[in-house]
Amino acid sequence: MITKNTIDKVFETARVEEVIGDFVQLKKSGSNLKGLSPFTEERTPSFMVSPVKQIWKDFSSGKGGNVIAFLMEHEHFTYPEAIKYLAKRYGIEIEETEQSDEQKEQANERESMYLVSEYANKFFQRTMHESNEGKAIGLSYFKERGFTQETIKKFDLGYSPDEWEAFTKQALADGYKLDYLEKTGLSIVKDQKKFDRFKGRVMFPIHSMSGRVLGFGGRILSNTKKAAKYLNSPESDIYHKSKVLYGIYYAKQAIAKEDNCYLVEGYTDVIQFHQSGIENTVSSSGTALTPDQIRLINRLTKNITVLFDGDAAGTRASMRGIDLILEQGMNVKVCPFPEGEDPDSFARSNSEDELREYLQENSYDFINYKASLLMEESKNDPVKKATLIRDMVNSISKIPDNIQREVYLQECSRIMDISEEVLYASLAQIQNKSQKTSPEPRKKNMEVVKENNSPKTKVDQLYELERKIISLLVLYGREEGEFHDVLLKQDEHGEMVYESEVQHSKVFEKIFLDLQEDEIEFTNDDFQKLFLLLIEKLNSEDDFGVDKIINELEKSQAVKLTDILMEEEQYELHDWDRHDIPVKSKEQGITQYVSQTILSLRRFLVGQKINDLLEELKEIEDETDRTEKIQEIMSYTSLSTILSDRLGRVM
**Interval 498-553: pLDDT, tens:** 566 777 888 888 888 888 877 788 888 888 888 888 888 888 777 677 766 777 77
- pLDDT attached to residue 256: 84
Assess whether 508 and 609 both reside in one domain. yes
- State the pLDDT confidence band at 384, using cuts at 50, 70 and 90: confident
Listed in order, strand segments (DSSP E) in 397-495 are 480-490
Residue 235 shares a structural domain with residue 255: no
Q: pLDDT tens for residues 18-44? A: 999 989 999 988 888 999 998 887 788
Q: What are 543-594's pLDDT values in tens digits?
A: 677 766 777 777 778 888 888 777 765 554 444 444 444 444 555 578 888 8
The residue that leads in pLDDT, 67 or 589, is: 67
Tell me the per-residue pLDDT of 467-483, one tens digit each, with 9 for 90 and over.
Answer: 888 888 888 888 888 88
Check pLDDT > 90 for residue 445. Answer: no
Residue 454 domain-assigned (yes or no): no
Across 216-226, average pLDDT:
84
Please report the sign of the dihedral spanned by the C-alpha atoms of residue 595, residue 597, residue 598, residue 599. positive
More confident call, 230 vs 101 = 230
Residue 281 has pLDDT above 90, yes or no: yes
CB burial of residue 622 (10 Å; 0-12, 13-18, 19+): exposed
Residue 364's DSSP bridge partners are 334
Quote the mean pLDDT of the chain: 83
Q: Which stretches within 458-524 are classed as H helix?
A: 461-476, 507-517
Residues of the chain above pLDDT 90, percent: 30
In a domain, 615, yes or no: yes
Quick check: 449 pLDDT over 60?
no
What range does the domain containing 20 cover? 4-89
Q: Is residue 102 part of a domain?
A: no
In-domain check, residue 622: yes
Cβ–Cβ < 8 Å for 377, 364: no
pLDDT of residue 378 exceeding 80: no
H helices of 22-148, in order, are: 67-74, 79-89, 101-105, 109-130, 132-133, 140-144
What pLDDT does 138 receive?
Answer: 95
Is residue 267, in this structure, part of any structural domain at all? Answer: yes
Q: Looking at the structure, do residues 297 and 388 belong to the same domain, yes or no?
A: yes
Q: Are residues 404 and 542 in the same domain?
A: no
pLDDT at 500: 64
Q: What is the pTM of this model?
A: 0.66
- When pLDDT is averaged across residues 111-128 and rounded to a whole number, the result is 95
Contacts of 48 (CB under 8 A, 6+ apart): 29, 32, 33, 34, 56, 57, 58, 59, 566, 569, 570
**Four-point Cα dihedral 73, 76, 81, 82, nearest 10:** -20
Are residue 256 and residue 235 in the same domain, yes or no?
Answer: no
Residues 454-466 pLDDT 10s: 445 556 788 888 8
Same domain? For 218 and 352 the reply is no
- Average the pLDDT over each of 371-385, 440-454, 637-651 and give the range with the smallest value: 440-454
Please indicate, yes or no, if residue 226 is contained in any of the structural domains. Answer: yes
Q: State whether 306 and 196 are in the same domain.
A: no
Q: Which of 134-148, 294-308, 524-538, 551-565 has the highest mean pLDDT?
A: 134-148
What are the CA-CA distances from residue 622 to residues 553, 609, 627, 629, 630 (Å)? 51, 21, 9, 11, 12
Domain closes at, from 89, 122, 147: 89
Residue 454 is predicted with a pLDDT of 47
Give me the torsion for CA of 99, 105, 107, 109, rounded to 10°: 160
Please check whether residues 415 and 497 belong to one and the same domain: no
Q: Note whether residue 576 is domain-resident.
A: no
Total structural domains within the chain: 4
Of the candidates 382, 402, 435, which is a domain's last residue? 435
Rg of the chain taking only CA atoms, in angstroms = 33
β-pair type (303-308, 213-220):
unpaired
Q: For residues 16 and 48, state if they share a domain.
A: yes
State the average pLDDT over residues 199-216.
Answer: 93
Q: 304: closest CA among 337, 282, 320?
A: 282
Final residue of a domain: which of 400, 435, 470?
435
For residue 486, the model assigns a pLDDT of 59
Q: Which CATH number goes with the domain that contains 310?
A: 3.40.1360.10
pLDDT (0 to 100) of residue 447: 41
Domain at 119, CATH number? 3.90.980.10
Confirm whether 166 is domain-assigned. yes
* 62 plus 144 within the same structural domain: no
State the DSSP code for 587: G
Question: Per-residue b/e over 346-379, b at no fewer than 16 CB within 10 Å?
Answer: bbbeeeeeebeebbeeebbebbbbbbebbbeebe
Window from 164-173, 260-269, 292-301, 346-355 with minimum mean pLDDT: 292-301
Task: Tell me which residue of 395, 386, 440, 439 sits closest to 417, measured CA to CA.
Answer: 386
Same domain, 159 and 44: no
Pick from 200, 172, 169, 198: which is nearest to 185 by CA? 198
Does residue 606 contact residue 639 with C-beta atoms inside 8 Å? yes
Q: What is the pLDDT of residue 387?
A: 84
Is 257 found in the same domain as 197? no
- The tens digit of pLDDT for each residue in 249-278 reads 999 888 988 889 999 988 999 999 999 999
